[in-house]
Amino acid sequence: MATESPFPEVHRIIADSDLDGMCAAVVLKKAYPDAEVHFAHAALIRSGIIDALIDEHTVTVDLPFHPKSGWYLDHHLTNKPTDSEHDEFTMRGGIVHWDHTPSAARLAFDLFRGDFDFPHLEEIMPLVDDLDSGGISLEIFLEDGPLLQLSRTLNYNDPSYMHHLLLLFQTCNSMEQIYADAEVKKRMLEARESRKKMVKLVQEKTTIVNRLAICRLEDTGHRSNGYLITAHAGEHADACCIIHGYSDGEIGNKLRPPLSASFYANSFLPDGQNRFDLSKLATKFDPHGGGHANACGCRIQPPGVEANLSKWLAMWADRDVELKYEA
């Protein structure tokens, strides 16, 4: 980068391991080709497990704020640095790019689109935005096109594949070239087959209580995003709560992560978003929980799932007050 650049010197990029984080990492790697890239998730930041990777030459993107980094890019409301955090961070030379964009990839893309060409990202950015912000239509979701399939191949537990895909984004000129890669093609086929099994599991594990679809996936070894649950619930639910992870799991254990909960608004309903602030559920017990009003998550806190769920259901029963959405 030129010396007059408004951006800092970057030696390391740490990004979330979903499609949003991957696309943001692609942009940043283009701007900083010599920087090493690590894929992570929110719990690794909040727990301090990867503190040793973060310093003033590190950019963190699509993840919770870390005061030791040199540059922070994100769009999650609950991750936004407080005024005091922002002031302290910038006083020592840190740079904050936080904006209420539909995705972190969009934020990075808009910062650098004037300096670099991203032809394949230009093509998929609208859908990346929709996927991350809950703007995807039911028709697009059920169609399950190649980008949705690709998004389900991403896995923090498989860094070699994540970096293989990152390299493809750097070297290919179109999404069709990426989809045609032998390894990607195999993974996308597996993603299609896995979704068929997940549809059946969701049907077995989901109950609807007072228009909240509750999917109990704990101790099954499976995870799901909210789209699959709300598509199953249809017009009978305004939001969903998904329990996943293991009763004996722990942070940092790739094979047995701890019990967590995810909350999603039913974006397939007319005016399904921004009716309630679900992040108030995610932060009720877990101070490190959060995300967006329409999509968020947390770790299950003592005394356990049933107690957490009972309180969440009580809050949901009075949702017009307890979960009041404020723009």
Nearest C-alpha neighbor of 21 from the set 50, 59, 68: 59
**Residue 178 included in any domain:** no
Helix axes 159-171, 182-205, angle to 10 degrees: 130
Q: Is residue 241 part of a domain?
A: yes
Kindly give the pairing relationship between strand 12-16 and strand 58-61: parallel
d(CA 3, CA 211): 55
| Angle at alpha carbon of residue 62, lines to 227 and 223, rounded to 5° | 35
What is d(CA 84, CA 70) in angstroms, rounded to the nearest whole number? Answer: 16
pLDDT at 150 over 60: yes
The CATH number assigned to the domain holding 76 equals 3.40.50
pLDDT at 125: 96
Domain that holds residue 266: 197-322
Our count of domains for the chain comes to 2
Number of Cβ within a 10 Å radius of residue 90: 12
pLDDT band at residue 2 under the 50/70/90 scheme? very low
Instruction: Assess if residue 106 is contained within a domain.
Output: yes
Domain end among 111, 136, 161 = 136
- Residue 217 tokens, joined: 């996936």
What is the rounded CA–CA span in Å between residue 116 and residue 30? 8
- Classify residue 63 as left (phi > 0), alpha (psi -120 to 50) or beta: beta
Q: What is the mean pLDDT of residues 164-169?
A: 97
Q: Are residues 115 and 208 in the same domain?
A: no
The domain boundary, picked from 84, 115, 136, lies at 136
pLDDT of residue 3 exceeding 70: no
Specify if 165 maps to a domain.
no
Residue 125 lies in a domain: yes
Residues 93 and 203 grouped into a single domain: no
Query: Is 182 part of a structural domain of the chain?
Result: no
34 belongs to a structural domain:
yes
Helix (H, G, I), strand (E, B) or coil at 308: helix
Residues 201, 318 within the same domain: yes
Statement to judge: residues 116 and 25 lie in one domain: yes
Rounded CA gap, 146 and 144, in Å?
7
Domain-embedded: residue 155: no
Statement: residue 5 has pLDDT above 80: no
Q: What per-residue confidence (pLDDT) applies to 135? A: 87
The pLDDT of residue 7 is: 82
Q: Stretch 228-243: mean pLDDT, rounded? A: 97
What's residue 255's pLDDT?
86
- Tell me what the pLDDT averaged over the chain comes to: 95
Contact 282, 294 (CB under 8 A): no
* pLDDT tens-digit map of 11-67: 999 999 999 999 999 999 999 999 999 999 998 999 999 999 999 999 999 999 999
Which CATH number do you get for residue 302? Answer: 3.10.310.30
